[in-house]
Amino acid sequence: MWKSYIKSALRNFAKNKLTFFINLFGLALGLSVAILISLWVQDELSMDKIFEDNDRIYRIIGHQSYGDNIMTFANTPGILARELKNYYPEVEYAIAHTWSEEKLMTVKDKNLKYSGIYAESDFLKVVSHELLHGDAPMALANRENIVITEQIAMALFNRTDVVGESILIDSKTTYIVGGVLKNISSKSSHKFDFIINMERFFDENAWVHEWGNNGPYTLVKLKKGTDGDTFSEKIKGFIKERQEGSIVDLFAVPYAQNYLYGKYENGQLVGGRIEYVRMFSLIGLFVLIIACINFMNLATARSQKRAKEVGVRKVVGAGRNALIGQFISESMLLTFIAAIFSILFVELVMPSFNSLTGKELFIDYSQPSFFLMLFSIVLFTGLLAGSYPAFYLSAIKVVSIFKSNHKTSSQVNFTRKALVLFQFVTATILILGTLVIYKQIDFMLSKDLGYDKEQLISFRLQGDLKSERFEHFRNELLQKPEILHVSRAANYLTSKNSNTGEVNWEGRDPDASVLFEIIRVDHDFIPSLGLKVIKGRAFSREHATDTLLKVIINKTAYETIQNENGSISSLEIWGGDWEIIGVVDDFNFESLHSQVGPAIIMLQPQNTYAGFIKLSPDDVAGSLEYISSKAKEVNPNYPFDYTFMDDKLNKLYKQDERLRDLALYFAILTILISCLGLFALSAHIAEQKTKEIGIRKVLGASTMNILQIINREFVIIVSFSIAIGSIIGYWAINEFILGGFAFRISLEWWHILLAAFVIIMAAYITVSFQAFKATRINPVDTLKSE
């Protein structure tokens, strides 16, 4: 029986080559998209699940209450981990670790920069990265220990078995290699090149010992049998019990979930990267369904030609189940062939897809899970594509089949139009989404940030540039006229760095709590960035007392502290009285995903880590060469690495750009697959109307008249698709795309008009191509049998 089904299917494919190739190409594209997205989704869902006893590892996070607003931070007091371990018997290990930080590593004549973390000695007992050399319990046991990756080991020593070797860090401290890690897996969301024992960090940063200061991250590994939710509830008031007036409520989140579920709004989990996973899973499903719709439409459109075959089979005794089996088998065979081509296509585009997504995906043919995934996709596609044609064709009555005027039922025509409608509704939504994302990213990259980012370079202060030598470096640079300003700050203005809720002022509501960003700078920061002073003055070397409890605030902070009594001249910060000497206009000190909050600018050059140099547009290359040479003179042990602020800001929106590019490619594929279906469907309809076209030409109809007649039905369907897709797209774009931006564009009428133009033109050109071919047939050939 199955042999008969396959032979019948192959004969049908050979008989209808155009339909076969269109179906094959459409299904292969749909399956390729489904496979690529499935690999990406699997990779996302598997992040941070590679560690031993993964279900017992938790990250400690805190909700901070500011009036009616709750803000959520993963940063915690540095001493929290040790206290949790001592207080709760269900905690097997608890460790603190820092953010990633760049260090200069020196071995003999090699000086290389890498990024790594400080972590407590039990770090590898909690997060079990694979060690090539060394023992996990002892790798960070001593305060002078460092653990490096095999990449660093090869770069510095040309071998990996380097346990016990010495590395000079930042030209001042020598560490002993306690272990060599295998390069961090792509399945880990936390990337670093080395780990230094955190005792050094505790020694050098007194604030880490205070309950009121947050910075490091805290991880715990619970003992077997401990319920995570119960533990999370128990630690809720842990900090409040140790610090009077604390506004922090702790909770525990499974470490493996934090990557996908890390977005909180007003204390509630609202998503995270899981939103992208859901969205692209949905897009992949829709693209696959659109490919299946092509198959359904073409199969039912050609039902007149298949009807006699069905009739003959029924007459000789074939039951409906046998006929359904035949058509499903035909669909499954076509899908299987398409799957082979789709794998070849996926392998071909995989490098580009990895570059686009920032992943290291590949098809692992040794894993049964891949073939299970592929089988599931092929089975779903084959059944979905073949089900409707199979049930429709097998249900045709024998009596009606052999009538000379047997026609496709109106119900089938309606279903076919509805399926085409679905295809172009999806295409409309994707095109609108892509267009809006493009405009949103352009808006963010061109928006006035409140400071002048043009010809502004930033660099990390390291070595002697962190000392008083910076002033000498600054003075040397300013000797060149093309170098306009040199300054420094605590961060690069791309993310929050330091904040506090311990700010009071006259007339403040005692029940209100406001979080202020603290920006530590030197005298030249405001002129270097071109910040606009709207009240008072900037810091000045002419005012020696500016270093003593003087602050400048931004416009938002100024508006926050004003009350009925008029202007406020000072703030109480950390128990001290700080005089406000100026107000600057608001500027963005983090990405445009967030609103500008109240900020306090303090003159504390000794606590800065980022340098800024403002250049004239004249002779930028010469200025950079001059800066590099002076940096080498002042700081000979460190290579001078810099980044233009434009490039640094662009990196903030890398994820958004990936979303934009993926949406664009999926939109193009959706239109292409949909137009493939229209191409074959219009060819079939043109074939059906051959005699009608011949009669109209004999009666004097022009080519344009005939094109309009054939195109009319498709244009109406596509127009309805655009209307419905625009309504759904308007809601989805505002809810899921623009909703994540504090500064955003609006969906305008011309966005819809442009999307409509693209879709209508694609559909019109596709249908007109087949219609035009039909009009070129000589009426004598079409009417000679009449």
Q: How far is Cα 759 from Cα 460, in angstroms, rounded to an integer? A: 49
Residue 715: is its pLDDT beyond 60?
A: yes
Instruction: Determine how β-strand 263-265 pairs with β-strand 268-271.
Output: antiparallel
Query: Is pLDDT larger for residue 637 or for residue 605?
Result: 605
Provide the 3-class DSSP secondary structure of residue 636.
coil
- For the whole model, what pTM was predicted? 0.82
Q: How far is Cα 726 from Cα 173, in angstroms, rounded to an integer? A: 62
Other beta carbons less than 10 A from residue 424's beta carbon: 29
**Mean pLDDT for the stretch of residues 165-177:** 92
**Confidence class for position 693, pLDDT limits 50, 70, 90:** low
Q: How far is Cα 215 from Cα 735, in angstroms, rounded to an integer? A: 33
- Considering only 11-15, 345-349, 471-475, 615-619, which range has the smallest mean pLDDT? 11-15
Query: What does the DSSP 8-state code read for residue 160?
Result: S
718: Cβ–Cβ under 8 A, 6 or more apart, which residues? 420, 424, 759, 760, 763
Q: How far is Cα 167 from Cα 163, in angstroms, rounded to an integer? A: 11
216 backbone φψ class: left, alpha, beta (φ>0; ψ -120 to 50): beta
Residue 376: is its pLDDT beyond 60?
A: yes
Cα torsion 612, 582, 602, 584: sign = negative
Burial label, 565 (beta-carbon count in 10 A; 0-12, 13-18, 19+) = exposed
Name the β-bridge partners of 571: 578
Q: Which of 140, 124, 133, 123 is nearest to 175 (CA)?
A: 140
Query: Is pLDDT larger for residue 222 or for residue 27?
Result: 222
- Could you report the per-residue pLDDT of 20-76, keeping only the tens digit for each? 787 788 888 889 988 999 999 999 999 999 999 999 999 999 999 887 788 899 999
Q: DSSP readout, 330-380? A: HHHHHHHHHHHHHHHHHHHHHHHHHHHHT------TT-HHHHHHHHHHHHH
**Confidence class for position 246, pLDDT limits 50, 70, 90:** confident
- Domains of the chain: which residue ranges? 1-47+274-408, 99-197, 433-446+650-786, 456-649
Residue 403: is its pLDDT beyond 60?
A: no
- Could you report the per-residue pLDDT of 637-687, keeping only the tens digit for each? 888 889 999 888 888 888 888 877 887 888 888 888 877 777 766 666 666
**Mean pLDDT for the stretch of residues 358-387:** 85
**Mean pLDDT for the stretch of residues 129-145:** 91
Token readout for 320 is: 């409906």
CA-based angle 759:765:767, to the nearest 5? 100
**Confidence class for position 547, pLDDT limits 50, 70, 90:** confident
Q: Which of 601, 671, 673, 634 is nearest to 467 (CA)?
A: 634
| Cβ-contact 326, 5 below 8 angstroms | yes
Residue 303: is its pLDDT beyond 70?
A: no
Q: How far is Cα 207 from Cα 199, in angstroms, rounded to an integer? A: 14
Q: How far is Cα 273 from Cα 262, in angstroms, rounded to an integer? A: 8
Q: CA–CA distance from 655 to each of 38, 353, 394, 437 (Å)?
A: 19, 14, 49, 11
**Mean pLDDT for the stretch of residues 622-638:** 91
